[in-house]
Amino acid sequence: MLKTTVRLIRQFRYVLLLAAMLVICFSTASYSAEPSEAIFYTKSSYEGTATTYKIGDSYQADCSDDNDSINDKYLSFELGSQAKVVAWQHCDNTGITDEWEESKPDISNIESLSSFQVTNSTDTILTFRLVDNTNSKIPLTLYIQPFGIPSNKPIEDSTDDGKNDYRIIGILPTNADGEPKVTAVNLRNKEGELVSTGSVYFQWNAKEDKAEYSTNPETAPKGFKIEQTSTNTFDFRWVGL
């Protein structure tokens, strides 16, 4: 009888120890990011040194040989329930972009994305691409100065870069009608000569649940037909002067 009791006590202690270990494991794995935060880690699986970014905060790689991508510094991140991460390529000014709406234990494969900003989960990215409808085969590059993100240089899209990706124009809140955001537009040829220049305005239409663009007749970039291809994407179609 005594031996049986001792054995049961030992088994009970073992069960308690196992339960405690499970509690520790689950508590360690639980996310610690506040709703309006993103926590980035220097190692995958939310390990290593942690840095907290709140909504509105941003990060840019310095574009050196050993730091030209986000994953040169960070390899995972936890995301709060009210936040998302907008990432884009700024080191070569292409502005190719992506957005992440959930935590990621491994971002080692994001390639050349080099900058990010933490935004409200309801914000939307506006993107553009250059389309040459003249079929002239003359290389052209469109430069657009972005808004709502930290960028001292315009985002570029060229007709001869072999890519058809949309590139970031800016970030717009979508919870209400916003004030128009103006962006400068410049089209240059291969020699860098200015072909067309002007301004385009973007704003969010909460009633229609989409972004809209407008131009002023005096400052509209000549030679372009702007086509909205989705709620937040725009083709700048070059039709010629």
Which CATH number characterizes residue 92's domain? Answer: 2.60.20.10
Do 139 and 47 belong to one domain? no
Residue 48 belongs to domain spanning: 37-120
Do 89 and 61 belong to one domain? yes
Answer yes or no: is pLDDT of 1 > 70.
no
Do 199 and 102 belong to one domain? no
Q: Element (H or E) spanning 228, and its range?
A: strand 224-228
CB atoms within 10 A of CB 18: 10
Do 197 and 130 belong to one domain? yes
Percent of the chain at pLDDT exceeding 90: 66
pLDDT band at 168 (very low <50, low <70, confident <90, very high): very high
Domain final residue pick, 66, 89, 120: 120
Beta-sheet strands, E only, within 71-180: 76-79, 83-88, 97-100, 115-120, 124-132, 140-144, 155-158, 167-172
Answer yes or no: is pLDDT of 30 > 50.
no
Return the CATH number at 212.
Answer: 2.60.40.1720
Q: Could you tell me if residue 15 is inside a domain?
A: no
Do 43 and 101 belong to one domain? yes
- Interval 55-108: pLDDT, tens: 999 999 988 887 888 989 999 999 999 999 999 998 887 788 999 999 999 999
pLDDT band at 240 (very low <50, low <70, confident <90, very high): very high
Do 225 and 132 belong to one domain? yes
pLDDT band at 9 (very low <50, low <70, confident <90, very high): very low
The pLDDT of 165-186, averaged and rounded, is 90
The pLDDT of 107-135, averaged and rounded, is 92
Distance in angstroms (rounded) separating the CA atoms of residues 177 and 155: 25
Q: What is the CA radius of gyration of the chain?
A: 25
177 φ, ψ (degrees, to nearest 5): -60, 130
Q: Which two tokens mark 170?
A: 């800016």
Answer yes or no: is pLDDT of 27 > 60.
no
Distance in angstroms (rounded) separating the CA atoms of residues 78 and 83: 10
Which of 4-13, 109-118, 161-170, 179-188 shows the lowest mean pLDDT across its residues? 4-13
Where does residue 149 rank: exposed (0-12), middle (13-18), buried (19+ CB within 10 A)?
buried
- Interval 197-231: pLDDT, tens: 999 999 999 999 999 999 999 999 999 999 999 99
The pLDDT of 123-131, averaged and rounded, is 95
Domain final residue pick, 78, 97, 120: 120
Do 173 and 220 belong to one domain? yes
Do 77 and 131 belong to one domain? no
Q: Element (H or E) spanning 12, and its range?
A: helix 2-29
Do 159 and 233 belong to one domain? yes
Number of structural domains in the chain: 2
DSSP 28: H
> What is the average pLDDT score of the chain?
86
List CB contacts of 232: < 8 A, sequence separation 6 or more: 124, 125, 126, 127, 172, 210, 211
